Amino acid sequence: MNEFTNWDIFQALILAARWTVVLSLIAFLGGASVGLLLTFLQISSRTALVRIARFYVELFQGTPLLMQLFLVFFGLSLLGIDVSPWTAAALALTLFSSAFLSEIWRGCIESLPKGQWEASRCLGLSYFEIMRHIILPQALKVAVAPTVGFSVQIVKGTALASIIGFVELTKAGTMLNNATFEPFKVFGMVALIYFLLCYPLSVASRHLERKLNVTG
């Protein structure tokens, strides 16, 4: 016997999806802040700083997000900090996102023609003036589309928080599946809700890319 109607399931999933959204927002904002710092390290003229930043990026791009979640979760408790799945997920996703975002942004800055630097130098601008007035405004424009595109990866990444017990959309799905024994329906709905969250972002990213390419 099944006491759950389709509507019940959908409602429960939508409620859980709120936490997917909140976690995504936190991971994006946290990732963007740390990522910005890393980007500046990566393009700095200090080799040591560049190395550290590069290593950080390699580390987080070269290991599974799931491992990062486990390490944060278990690592923090070793330090005597009592971590909730919630904190661990937010922290791990922040670290993960920052590595990818800084790599995207570094690429944007480096994609600008060398002539821009050279011309600015000839005009007598300092490093920071060049950054502030010439490079960053242009890089920002190039960076918008891939950044929005990466936000899709963050939303999808939050699904792994379910594995350490954070109740968001995917976890709610597994729980509902255990209660209803209707995996096809439940996971179909879960997928649909993720799609509704991610697809607009994908479309926006593509749209921005085209628009910015046309206007130069």
Partner 1 sequence: MAYNFQFSGLLPYLQNLVDGLVTTVVITLITTVLGCLLGTLCAAARAGQSSFKSKVVGVYVELIRNTPFIVQLFFIFFGLPALGLRLSAWEAGTLAMVINLGAYSTEIIRAGIEATPKGQIEAAKVLGLTRFQTFVRVVLPPAIQKIYPALTSQCIIVMLGSAVLSQISVQELTFAANFIQSRNFLSFEVYFVVAGVYLLLSIGMRQLFNGIHYLVFPNLRAQR
Interface ranges with partner 1 (CB under 8 A): 58-59, 61-68, 70-71, 74-75, 78-80, 152, 155-160, 162-163, 170, 173-174, 177, 182-184, 187-188, 190-191, 194-195, 198-199, 202
Phi/psi zone of residue 168: left (φ > 0), alpha (ψ -120 to 50 degrees), beta?
A: beta
DSSP sequence for 72-105: HHHHHHHTT----HHHHHHHHHHHHHHHHHHHHH
Q: How far apart are CA 94 and CA 79, in angstroms?
A: 19
**What is the token pair recorded at 57?**
């990026």
Contacts of 108 (CB under 8 A, 6+ apart): 139, 142, 143, 146
3-class secondary-structure state, position 189: helix
Query: Which among 120, 81, 96, 99 is positioned nearest to 37, based on CA atoms?
Result: 99
User: 154: buried, middle or exposed (CB in 10 Å: 19+, 13-18, 0-12)?
Assistant: buried
